[in-house]
Amino acid sequence: MRNEANRYRPKDLSLAAEVAKSPEQNVPVILLKLKEIINNTPLGSSELKKIKQDIYCYDLMQYCLLVLSQDCSRIQGGWTTISQLTQILSHCCVGLEPGEDAEEFYNELLPSAAENFLVLGRQLQTCFINAAKGEEKDALLHFFQIVTDSLLWLLEGHVQLIQNVLQSDHFLHLLQTDSVQIGSTVMTMLQNILQINSPVIRSTATKLLLLMAESHQEILILLRLSGCYKELRSLLNKQEPGTEFSQELRQLIGLLSPKGYQEVEEQKLHQAACLIQAYWKGFQTRKRLKKLPSAVITLQRNFRSKRTKMLLKLNRQKEEEDHRLQLQLQRQRAMRLSRELRLSMLEIVHPGQVEKHNREIEEKSALIIQKHWRGYRERKNFRQQRPSLTEYKAAVTLQRAALKFLAKCRKKKKLFAPWQGLRELTDVRRVELQQQVDDYVRRHPGSQISDITSKELHSQAQERLQHYFMGRALEERSQQHREALMAQISTNIEQLLKAPSLKEAEGKEPELFVSRSRPVAAKAKQAHLTTLKHIQAPWWKKLGEEAEDEIDVPKDELSVELGTLFIGGTKPP
């Protein structure tokens, strides 16, 4: 047996070294080798105790706790690896004699292991409830039973952990499950805990179970459905009548009995009904009291809003009616003005030219209609042709850019082209060129001029040049004068075009159009009086006149102040 123990010790040491050197994701798979070492050693032997001490000394239990505290999705093998690690950890903790590190083992490692088992149980419970397939649920239920068996094995070996487990919130959540399979498994574990031969543990567990049954209706229903009533009755018969445990157990059995359960249910239903009625009556009373002042406010608000809406509606109708009447009046006024204008024009126009005048009006109307129609048609065609115009502009832009790029390339190519040098002249080419030069000199002989003639020609050229520059200055001044006169004429024409009519003229605006020249003013006055007389004359006097005949105006009427004439020009200084 010693040889067998010595044979497994190097394996423990090598396994610890492998765990220390391996990456984090490979640690769970390596720790599974502890199961083979534990299973190959006889139970209850001293060699198994030494192997467990070595596992504890090499911190392999701490590694198991760290793996169990990690997320299941990050562990290789998932719940299979985790369930096996819980079995390994529970078997290693039971029957271990820690020696010098007993305080750390009992106060830290064991409570942590029990807490991790409960957390794993809650995770499996959640996964089981959320699972959809039957095979997946069966696998999760199997893993949950393995975890609970490991926890029960740990509690049987270390009874002091039962109090921590029963007081844990995770254990309370396990009891409050909606699944029948999970609930029966938890109740079986609770029943096994109660059967552990320890008076203190049994008393503590019974008190906690009684407190949970009285506080949570779901736990009471679950205990009743689990069928532990008969077993608790048999357990009560085995106990002595006067002990504290038997009294607490009797209270728990009374809660679980059909009669007690019915009385508790009726009492709780009565209390719940009274509480609901009290809350409902209080709610109705508060609601009624709150509605008393708000009803008046709501009524006033509704009345005011309705009155405001009616006033707005009446004002809107009145504004619409006023607007409609104004439009109607504007149309009537415009029609009346147009008819008056036509009548006045008919009075002014010569009877022989009425038809001509009507024809001109019709032509103008037709031109306006055509102008608007053509504008509408061109805008419509432009909107239809806009995509093609955009494509054409884009093509032109691309072509321009491409041509610029090619021109730059050609220019760069010419700049960096190698120098080829001049073409060498042959003797035959030289003879040909010399012959061409001689022929040109022979056909164009040069004239012989003396020095005196050259000086005379030079002096004549200088005189003509001086005369040209002097005449050029005079011509520039005359050109500037002409441009100034043209600008003045353009300004006068623009002022005349923008001038207001006689009805609209106000203040000193007419003075801006008084002429500087009295002959021009006299001529303008004569033309103005002629036009006025022609307009004011009755129509029967105009029958024998032509449109272009001038009417004689007496000289007495010309003695009007010239400052009142609106003739083109600027204001006199």
Angle CA 565–566–571, to nearest 5: 95
Residue with the bigger pLDDT between 543 and 84: it is 84
Determine whether 190 is exposed, middle or buried from the number of CB atoms within 10 Å of its CB (0-12, 13-18, 19+). Answer: buried
User: Which 3 state secondary structure label does DSSP give 172?
Assistant: helix
Q: Can you tell me the distance from the alpha carbon of 435 to that of 485, in angstroms, rounded to the nearest whole number?
A: 64
Determine the pLDDT at residue 333: 92
Percentage above 70 pLDDT, the chain: 74
What does the mean pLDDT of the chain come to? 76
Query: By the 8 A CB rule, do 206 and 223 touch?
Result: no
pLDDT of 169 higher than 50: yes
**Which of the given ranges, 32-41, 102-111, 222-231, 390-399, has the highest pLDDT on average?**
390-399
Determine the pLDDT at residue 328: 92
Split at pLDDT 50, 70, 90, the class of 268 is confident
Which structure tokens are listed for 261?
């359960």
Calculate the CA dihedral of residues 401, 405, 407, 410 and round it to 10 degrees: -170
Strands (E), 191-350: none
| Averaged pLDDT, 51-58 | 75
Helices (H), 69-133: 79-93, 102-104, 110-130
Nearest Cα residue to 8 out of 35, 28, 30, 27: 35
Q: Can you tell me the distance from the alpha carbon of 159 to that of 194, in angstroms, rounded to the nearest whole number?
A: 11
Nearest Cα residue to 527 out of 496, 544, 548: 548
Q: At what angle do helices 79-93 and 46-57 cross, to 10 degrees?
A: 120
pLDDT in tens, 486-529: 888 888 788 777 777 767 777 666 666 666 666 777 787 888 88
pLDDT in tens, 306-347: 999 999 999 999 999 999 999 999 999 988 988 888 788 777
Query: By the 8 A CB rule, do 492 and 514 touch?
Result: no
Nearest Cα residue to 125 out of 172, 158, 88: 172
Angle CA 519–524–526, to nearest 5: 95
| Averaged pLDDT, 390-403 | 92
Determine the pLDDT at residue 1: 36
| Averaged pLDDT, 198-215 | 64
Nearest Cα residue to 148 out of 167, 177, 129, 174: 174
| Averaged pLDDT, 350-368 | 82
Q: Which of 38-52, 183-197, 290-304, 552-566 has the lowest mean pLDDT?
A: 552-566
**Which of the given ranges, 26-35, 291-300, 377-386, has the highest pLDDT on average?**
377-386
| Averaged pLDDT, 471-493 | 84
| Averaged pLDDT, 411-425 | 68
Query: By the 8 A CB rule, do 89 and 113 touch?
Result: yes
Ramachandran quadrant class, 168 (left: phi over 0; alpha: psi -120 to 50; beta: rest)? beta
Query: By the 8 A CB rule, do 513 and 495 touch?
Result: yes
Q: What sign does the dihedral 402-408-414-417 (CA atoms) show?
A: negative
Determine the pLDDT at residue 314: 94
| Averaged pLDDT, 212-219 | 65
In CATH, what number does 2-256 get? 1.25.10
Determine the pLDDT at residue 560: 42
Residue with the bigger pLDDT between 544 and 52: it is 52
Residue with the bigger pLDDT between 334 and 62: it is 334
| Averaged pLDDT, 550-557 | 49
Residue with the bigger pLDDT between 243 and 183: it is 183
User: What H or E segment, with its residue span, contains residue 513?
Assistant: none
pLDDT of 548 higher than 50: no
Determine the pLDDT at residue 256: 65
Determine the pLDDT at residue 557: 45
Q: What does the domain layout of the chain look like in residue ranges?
A: 2-256, 257-348, 353-397, 509-564
pLDDT of 62 higher than 50: yes
Ramachandran quadrant class, 298 (left: phi over 0; alpha: psi -120 to 50; beta: rest)? alpha
pLDDT of 434 higher than 60: yes
SS3 for 257-294 is CHHHHHHHHHHHHHHHHHHHHHHHHHHHHHHHHHHHHH
| Averaged pLDDT, 227-231 | 59
Cβ neighbours for 232, distance < 8 A, ≥ 6 positions apart = 249, 252, 253, 256
Determine the pLDDT at residue 310: 94
Residue with the bigger pLDDT between 50 and 6: it is 50
Q: Can you tell me the distance from the alpha carbon of 333 to that of 327, in angstroms, rounded to the nearest whole number?
A: 10
Query: By the 8 A CB rule, do 32 and 64 touch?
Result: no
Determine the pLDDT at residue 374: 93
Split at pLDDT 50, 70, 90, the class of 218 is low
Determine the pLDDT at residue 216: 63
Determine the pLDDT at residue 4: 41
User: What H or E segment, with its residue span, contains residue 541?
Assistant: none
Determine the pLDDT at residue 320: 93
Q: Can you tell me the distance from the alpha carbon of 143 to that of 132, in angstroms, rounded to the nearest whole number?
A: 17
pLDDT of 231 higher than 70: no
Percentage above 90 pLDDT, the chain: 13
